[in-house]
Amino acid sequence: MNIVESLKMALRSLSANKMRAALTMLGMIIGVSAVIALMAIGQGATASVTSQIQGMGTNLLFVSPGAARQGGFSFGAGSAPTLTLEDAQAIASNVPSVVGVAPQANSRAQVVAGPNNTTTSILGTTPSYQDVRNFHVASGDFFTQANVDSRSRVALLGSTTAQTLFGDADPIGQEIKINRVSFKVIGVMETKGSQAAGNQDDVVIVPVTTLLQRLTRQRTSRGGLVVQQVNVQVADQQLMTQAVDDIGNLLRDRHRVTEDDFTIRSQEDMLSTLETVTQTMTLLLGAIAGISLIVGGIGIMNIMLVSVTERTREIGIRKAIGAKQSDILIQFIIEAMVVSVIGGLMGILVGVGLSEVASRFDLGGQQLHPVVAQEAVLLAFGVSAAIGLFFGIYPASRAAALNPIEALRYE
């Protein structure tokens, strides 16, 4: 018997028990669709993280303070007030490979505009921030170095903050109050969207000196103005290692320490770490979903064993008129494969549909962007076909091993 004839017989056998065949396929449909949908969500998360980090700018280094310690306990990286505005100025002046430096001081405060108010992030920085971090104004103007030097009370609003405080009205030229201190709005930033660190559009940006001297007054024990991060843009990717060494030597000399009280991370380091995390989560999600494929395979084995029992007399007749053991073996393996493959194809369609549905959900301000990769589809389909083959072999071998005399006597 050839493969085509065996395939026709398999389809006739399955059509004779449509409900049973459909329920058996359901296990494979659920398994394949779950693998595709969950891996698409994981791949989407990886792509989103990559896009966000690359959208920060190019050839970036992030210098942050070290960890504060008390009583032998560490409060985590970034908790010590060891990085200052003067450090940022020294990096800009003394590291030749650096083309842009943007210090960053952070705070949270209540912002009031007329009858409206909101509590949001206050970011203090310098004019170079917009080029270093690739975050530009959509309307109005960014503040100038003169505003920084004179501690001017001017502010730029993120698009979300502007909408919250002013609705559809033009905020430029309007007055807001931050912790009861009046500021003039001179610009609205372009929309950047949310990321792991939060909503980049829910922010008010002011000159760093204004934040540090009029709003928070954060200083080190030596009188330096404390910042939470220094964003550094390097001239070329090839100079990143040299820039890290130069900045490290400069800060150690300025802080008079032998053990670093700061941390320097590159954009590539952040990207590599986050991609590793998201890819691991993607594989974990795929593995969890893959368990349902195993369950579906067990269902196929169970139904095929029932089918062998029900068709024992048919097997005996076929052997009596000349069917070889290999013919019986191939017939039942093909039946198992047909159930598995049809279930896998339907599962692919369902999985792609679920991915499309997931893209419409908004989870806490984070939009899902599933990416259905061709590799995930091929993997899920290949595994479903392999499971059909694996779990079909035992029932098929039992059918092929039946004694024709005993099979003919079976009622």
Provide the residue type at 126 as one letter.
Answer: T
**Cα gap 230→237, rounded to integer Å:** 18
3-state secondary structure of 389: helix
Alpha-carbon separation of residue 202 from 23, 162, 232, 241 (angstroms): 50, 8, 23, 34
| pLDDT beyond 60 at 70 | no
**Cα gap 48→40, rounded to integer Å:** 12
pLDDT category at 366 given cuts 50, 70, 90 is: low
The full set of domain ranges for the chain reads 3-53+272-409, 81-260
80-112 pLDDT tens trace: 678 889 999 999 999 998 889 999 999 999 999
Sign of CA dihedral 277, 280, 286, 287: negative
> Element (H or E) spanning 180, and its range?
none
Provide the residue type at 303 as one letter.
Answer: I
pLDDT, average across residues 193-210 = 80
**325-358 and 312-320 helices, crossing angle to 10°:** 140
Alpha-carbon separation of residue 367 from 72, 345, 370 (angstroms): 41, 28, 10
pLDDT category at 204 given cuts 50, 70, 90 is: very high
CA dihedral 336, 339, 341, 344 (to 10 degrees): -130
**Cα gap 367→38, rounded to integer Å:** 15
pLDDT, average across residues 14-19 = 75
38-58 pLDDT tens trace: 888 877 777 776 666 665 666
For position 21, what pLDDT does the model report?
79
3-state secondary structure of 169: coil
pLDDT, average across residues 353-378 = 74
The CA-CA-CA angle for residues 64, 65, 68, to 5°, reads 145
Q: What is the mean pLDDT of the chain?
A: 81
